[in-house]
Structure 1
Amino acid sequence: MPKSLATPVLTALFVGGLLLLQGCSPEVGTEAWCKQMEAKPKGDWTVNDAGDFAKSCILK
Structure 2
Amino acid sequence: MSYINNNVLKLGSLALASMFVIGLSGCAPEVGSEQWCKQMSEKDKGDWTANEAADYAKHCVF
TM-score by length of 2: 0.83
Give the aligned length: 59
Give percent identity, aligned residues only: 46
Q: Which runs of 5+ in 2 are unaligned?
A: none
CA RMSD of aligned residues (A): 1.4
Matches within 5 A, 1:1-60: 2-59=5-62
Give per-residue Cα distances to partners, 1:24-50, cap 9 Å, x unaligned.
111000011000000111122111111
Higher Rg of the two aligned structures:
2
TM-score by length of 1: 0.85
